[in-house]
Amino acid sequence: MLANRAGAYGNGKKDYARAIEDLSEAIRLDPQPRYLGYRSGYYELIGKPELSLPDLDRLIRLEPTNFVAFQSRCWVNALLGRLDQALADCNKSIELASNVANTLDSRGLVYLKMKQYDKAIADFNAALKAAGYVEDGAVGPSLAGSLYGRGIARLRSGDALGGATDMAAAKAAKPDVIEDYTRYGI
C-alpha cells in the first residue's frame, strides 16, 4: 500500500519528498529490494544522488546479479565523480547483461569524464545501436543523451564536424540535453 502510494506521489504528482517518505516506511516494514531501487531513483531526482548509494549497496547485497542495480550505482558514482568505482560498476553490469543501452550510455559518460574519448565514443555508439538508432536517422528524446555525449567526445577528440553534427541533432531532439550534461559535470 505504501509503495503504491509512493508511486502515485513520485510518478504521478512528482512529489518526490512524499514518495521517499512512503518508501522509507515501506522499507522499514518490509525491506523489498525493489523499494530500495525506487527510493534511490527518487533521491537522484531531488538532486541528492549521494543518498541513493546506501540503498544501491544494500540492493546489490540482496541481489548480486541485478544488472540494473549495478548500472544505477555506476551512474550515481559517475555523477559524484567516483569514476573508478563507476567504471567497475558499469563493467559488472555489462558482464551480467551485455547489450543494454542505458549501461553502455552510463559507461560512455564515465569514459567521457575520464577523458578517454575513443572509449566514450565506442560506448555511445554501442548504446545508440542497442537502442535502435540508425546513423543519420531520426533522433528521439530518449537517444539525445547518448548522441550528445558522443558529440562531446568526438569534438574533444578532434572531430569538430562530427561532434557539432551529433550535438545539434541531440539538441533538436531534446533541447534541455545541454542542461543535463551540465548537471553531469561535463
65-91, pLDDT tens digit by residue? 999 999 999 999 999 999 999 999 999
| Tens of pLDDT, residues 138-160 | 788 888 999 999 999 999 999 99
- d(CA 115, CA 119) in angstroms, rounded, equals 9
Whether the domain at 1-63 and the domain at 98-186 fall into the same CATH topology:
yes
Domain ranges of the chain: 1-63, 98-186
DSSP state of 12: I
Cell of 118: 575513443
Split at pLDDT 50, 70, 90, the class of 184 is very high
* % of the chain residues with pLDDT over 90: 73
Q: What is the CATH number of domain 98-186?
A: 1.25.40
Cut 0.85: pTM above it: yes
How close are the terminal C-alpha atoms of the chain, in Å?
Answer: 40
| Tens of pLDDT, residues 30-46 | 888 999 999 999 998 89
| Tens of pLDDT, residues 85-100 | 999 999 999 999 999 9
Instruction: Domain 1-63: give its CATH architecture.
Output: Alpha Horseshoe (1.25)
* % of the chain residues with pLDDT over 70: 100
